[in-house]
Amino acid sequence: MENTSSLGKKNFLLAIVAFTLVIAFLAAAGPTEGKEKGISRESLDLLDRINKATAEVAEAIKPSVVHISSTRIVQGRRFPSPFFNDPFFREFFGTPFGPFEEPRNYKQSGTGSGVIVSRDGHIVTNNHVVKDTDEIKVTLADRRVFKGKVLGSDPKTDLAVIKIEASDLPAAVFGDSDRLRVGERVIAVGNPFGLDQTVTSGIISFKGRADVGIADYEDFIQTDAPINPGNSGGALVNMRGELIGINTAIVTSSGGHQGIGFAIPSNMVKIVMEQLIQRGKVVRGWLGVTVQAVTPELAKQLGVEADRGALVGDVNEGSPADKAGIQRGDVIVRYDGKEVRDVTALKNMVAATKPGQEVEIEYRRNGKTGTVRAVIEEQKETAGVTARHENRLKGLTVQDLTAEIRRELDIPARIQGVVVVSVAEDSAAYGVLRKGDVIMEINRKKIKGVEEYEAVVSRLKGDDRVLLLVYRKGGTFYVSL
């Protein structure tokens, strides 16, 4: 009886040891699904940590991202009878109906995102999100809604700062966008609907992207994290949860981007943001040169490296560059201690320099290197005028043709008139005139400048048809509005 009992105990102990060994073996082997798919335990652990880190970064920045809804009043036309509003009638007879339509005002809504940058209610967003708005509402991540006020906007970088009356807000922490590297992982967060944030992830695809056509001063971070309309003005953050860019989206025919997103780098955002908060506008530096890209052919003739620097095509008389001794044909290769990668880099560097600051400029001339010191001056804005009279040119903004504009747009000296700066969507000229067009005549009257333009436009009545003579890209043509 004792032998049987002893044998039973031994078998029980052996069973426990065997069970323990099996558990240990299974634990060492890792998850079954991972082994079946050829994924090692180490890789699965690493992926788990990456996923956890990404989720934590997203949760950390989400409270700082807000929803912005904007409303503006635009003038349209309505039909006096429901019969005229019938879609079949409108499609059959066409629109507009001229005298059958009556003018009225209606609300036009827009939506976007923004990022809280101070605990007392400063919010950075895109200029196009709040442009020409009459009312702004800001919805926080905790569902609180505030009325927003535009403190200042800068169309040249597509940035704006709005203010809400609140305190103890979760402000984002700025990172250094200059330290970003291509291939680095990033997260884009927006709040397009005011319900909850949307999060996309990707990597930095390119730095210093320009010539995109969004703004005058472009130095975009390009990422494959999708940034769609509605997420404009949201946050691009690194894996430390630091704000390294403000997302910007371009409206395309498909309504978004296929694997391409653009963000304004945080270092540029900080410079613009601080000036908008302090002054309500941005003051930029001016060197007084017209520059162009250094092509391989030009580089060979000038004795400089190809695709590096900015070639001086002209120097404004009496400008900081002129006083410092910069000459036509010089290639500027360093500015204030930083390498000049290309024309866009120099343009952004000069603009970011405070007026009155002295900078060292390194250049190449006739195969030799030289340096000069220049005192940067304030960039003067060319005054423009917007037609606000109730006629067919309402909403059209123009300005005088300056020598710099002529050079930039390659407009011959024989062309006289005013250059189109912008065309409002509710203007009769929208879709007909473009930025950069030169209006030479209005109803056969020659226009030499803004004063003559304003005098002629002010005499036009609301229903008067307007005949314009326009110069565009080397040719002239008539337009009837």
Q: Distance of CA 448 to CAs 72, 186, 193, 401, 453, Å?
A: 34, 51, 48, 9, 8
177 and 275 together in one domain: yes
**Is residue 30 over pLDDT 90?**
no
Half-sphere exposure of 3 (CA within 13 A, CB side): 0
Distance of CA 321 to the CA centre of its chain: 29
Alpha-carbon gap, residue 48 to 57, rounded angstroms: 14
Read off the pLDDT of residues 41-70 as tens digits, 9 standing for 90 and up. Answer: 888 888 888 888 888 988 999 999 999 998
| 62 vs 454, more confident | 62
Q: Return the C-alpha torsion angle 93, 96, 100, 102, nearest 10.
A: 150
- Boundary of a domain, candidates 320, 355, 378: 378
109 and 256 together in one domain: yes
371 and 417 together in one domain: no
Mean pLDDT throughout 108-115?
Answer: 88
- Boundary of a domain, candidates 328, 352, 378: 378
| 77 vs 163, more confident | 163
Strand, coil or helix: what is 119?
coil
C-beta separation of 242 from 173 below 8 A: yes
Lowest mean pLDDT among 137-146, 203-212, 250-259: 250-259
95 and 238 together in one domain: yes
Read off the pLDDT of residues 307-341 as tens digits, 9 standing for 90 and up. Answer: 688 998 878 888 999 999 999 889 999 999 999 98
40 in a structural domain: no
**Is residue 159 over pLDDT 90?**
yes
340 and 442 together in one domain: no
Amino acid of residue 248: T
User: What per-residue confidence (pLDDT) applies to 252?
Assistant: 47
- Is residue 360 very low, low, confident or very high in pLDDT (cuts 50, 70, 90)? very high
- Encode burial over 348-374: b for 16+ CB neighbours within 10 A, e otherwise: bbbbbbeeeeebebbbbbeeeeeebeb
Total count of domains within the chain: 3
427 and 401 together in one domain: yes
User: What per-residue confidence (pLDDT) applies to 117?
Assistant: 96
- Boundary of a domain, candidates 356, 378, 400: 378
Distance of CA 41 to the CA centre of its chain: 43
**Is residue 14 over pLDDT 80?**
no
150 in a structural domain: yes
178 and 72 together in one domain: yes
CATH number of the domain enclosing 186: 2.40.10.120
52 in a structural domain: no
Read off the pLDDT of residues 400-424 as tens digits, 9 standing for 90 and up. Answer: 887 667 877 888 878 888 999 888 8
Q: Is the preceding omega at residue 226 within 30 degrees of 0, hence cis?
A: no
Distance of CA 151 to the CA centre of its chain: 18
Vertex 172, ends 171 and 174: CA angle to 5°?
130
**Is residue 382 over pLDDT 60?**
no
User: What per-residue confidence (pLDDT) applies to 78?
Assistant: 52
Mean pLDDT throughout 196-206?
Answer: 87
401 and 432 together in one domain: yes
C-beta separation of 443 from 480 below 8 A: no
Highest mean pLDDT pick, 168-177, 365-374, 429-438: 168-177
30 in a structural domain: no
Alpha-carbon gap, residue 469 to 480, rounded angstroms: 9
239 and 349 together in one domain: no
CATH number of the domain enclosing 330: 2.30.42.10
Read off the pLDDT of residues 113-155 as tens digits, 9 standing for 90 and up. Answer: 999 999 999 999 999 899 888 899 999 999 999 999 999 999 8
User: What per-residue confidence (pLDDT) applies to 263?
Assistant: 93
| 186 vs 424, more confident | 186
- Is residue 84 very low, low, confident or very high in pLDDT (cuts 50, 70, 90)? very low
| 259 vs 348, more confident | 348
User: What per-residue confidence (pLDDT) applies to 6?
Assistant: 57
21 in a structural domain: no
341 in a structural domain: yes
435 in a structural domain: yes
Report pTM. Answer: 0.68
Range of the domain at 234: 60-281
Q: Could you give the residue numbers annotated as active site? A: 128, 158, 232
269 and 290 together in one domain: no
268 and 289 together in one domain: no
349 in a structural domain: yes
Helix axes 343-352, 266-278, angle to 10 degrees: 30
Mean of the per-residue pLDDT values of the chain: 81
- Is residue 253 very low, low, confident or very high in pLDDT (cuts 50, 70, 90)? very low
234 and 306 together in one domain: no
